[in-house]
Structure formats: C-alpha cells, structure tokens
C-alpha cells in the first residue's frame, strides 16, 4: 500500500535509548531542550528545540476537526472528547491527512513523529501509516499499543518504530516488556506518561518498571502534558 519495503529496512542504532522524554504536547511554548533528553513538541510546533532530540506530535485523527479529510467515522469516544475528526482509513482523507503532517514535520526539521490515537484503528491500518512515515524518512514512536484490538506486535516490530509512549491505564511495565521482547526489540525505550490525578498510577508504574531497562515515567503538574517531572518508584 505504501512505497516502503519493511523487509529491506536495515537495522540501525536507536539514538532514543537511555534518554528521558519530556512529553510536552500540551505546553504553551516550545521547550529549550537538553542535550541528554528528548522533547515531544505539540501539533502546532514549527521547529524542534534548540538542544537535544525531538519528536513531533502527529495525529491519525483530524486534529483540528477541519472536515477536510473525510469521510469520517463516529466510533471513537476520544474523538468526541477532544472534538477531533475520526478519519475513515478507507477514504482519501486518511492518506491526505498523513502526508500533510509528514511533509510539514520533515520540512520543519523533525526526524521522529508520534502518531496518536492508533487504538481507534486496526493494526494493519496503523502499520500502513508507519510505512508512509518511513517513506518520508521519519521514525515513529508507538502510542498505547496495548490498547489496540488485535495483536500489536507488527506495529511495535516495524523497523521505523524507535520507542513507545504509554498513557495512564493504557498498559503497564510487565505488559510492555513482554510486547517489546515479542517484537524482537528488548531494549526499545518505553515512556509512561501521566498528568493531573494520574500521579499515583505513575508512581506504581515507576515501581513496576524497576526490573526493566529503558523504561521511564513522568507526570505533568501543569494540566494535560504542560510540564514533565520524573517519577521514580
């Protein structure tokens, strides 16, 4: 479906391993970044931070509910909650939405993107979206793979996937350890993120993550991902 041959992708070193993630998709301004950290920037960010590595937030939904990427589906509670359009992957708007975001991210200087809301779609459709991102030379951070219906292993195993973000109640360290090992990526970075009343969950996740490498936990005190503070068990 996409112009990217997964079978031909060579293995590569993962520059995201061992680094803290500042998940700041709700921040009101661009973070400065640090050399030893990763910053995930909001949808409307126009450039990466001056220091460190960066991830650009992208969305499988119509982020601003523009109506330009139809036809749309009506099955996602998340789409309703955030007033976003759930794009039908069988229609022309699906690829249009993705291409516009990937072209914009690449032109702005980003090399890694997150594709939010994969749990609203089939594993096959999400893997196809990752294929398309890879055709633009972009790496991808998987989002809440354990929430997906069906086996998410092909998603996490995709050679373009270089990390995974897990939100409150979307998975735990034991489950993510099993998934990344099944996908053949035992050192894949996994970041557990929470905000507001999710601090207790974050603390429990940090304690459960202690036996595993390349797992970190953060919590945002400033609303929905407006800040990022480390949580240790």
User: What tens digit of pLDDT does each residue of 92-122 get?
Assistant: 999 999 999 999 999 999 999 999 999 999 9
What is the reported pLDDT for 233?
78
What the block records as the tokens of 78 is: 């998340």
- Residue 113 DSSP one-character state: E
- Bridge partners of residue 220, in order along the sequence: 195
Please state the φ and ψ torsions of residue 46, each to the nearest 5 degrees: -110, -5
Please answer whether residues 78 and 120 qualify as being in contact, where contact means their C-beta atoms are separated by less than 8 angstroms: yes
- Which tokens belong to 42? 């909001």
Residue 9 has pLDDT above 70, yes or no: no
pLDDT higher for 92 or 9?
92
Flag whether pLDDT at 59 surpasses 70: yes
pTM: 0.94
Mind listing the domains of the chain with CATH numbers?
A: 6-230 (3.20.20.70)
């Amino acid at each position: 479906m996409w112009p990217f041959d997964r079978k031909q992708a060579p293995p590569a070193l993962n520059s995201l391993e061992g680094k803290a993630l500042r998940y700041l998709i709700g921040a009101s301004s661009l973070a400065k970044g640090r050399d030893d950290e990763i910053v995930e920037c909001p949808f409307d960010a126009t450039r990466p931070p001056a220091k460190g590595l960066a991830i650009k937030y992208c969305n499988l939904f119509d982020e601003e509910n523009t109506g330009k990427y139809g036809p749309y589906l009506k099955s996602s509670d998340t789409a309703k909650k955030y007033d976003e359009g759930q794009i039908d992957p069988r229609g022309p708007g699906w690829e249009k939405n993705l291409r516009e975001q990937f072209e914009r991210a690449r032109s702005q200087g980003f090399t890694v993107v997150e594709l939010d809301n994969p749990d609203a779609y089939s594993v096959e459709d999400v893997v196809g979206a990752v294929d398309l991102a890879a055709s633009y030379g972009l790496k991808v951070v998987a989002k809440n793979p354990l929430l997906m219906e069906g086996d998410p292993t092909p998603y996490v195993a995709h050679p373009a996937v270089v990390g995974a973000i897990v939100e409150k109640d979307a998975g735990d360290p034991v489950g993510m350890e099993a998934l990344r090992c099944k996908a053949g990526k035992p050192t894949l970075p996994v970041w557990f993120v929470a905000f507001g009343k999710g601090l207790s969950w974050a603390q429990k996740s940090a304690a459960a993550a202690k036996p595993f490498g390349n797992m970190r936990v953060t919590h945002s005190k400033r609303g929905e991902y407006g800040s990022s503070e480390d949580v240790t068990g």
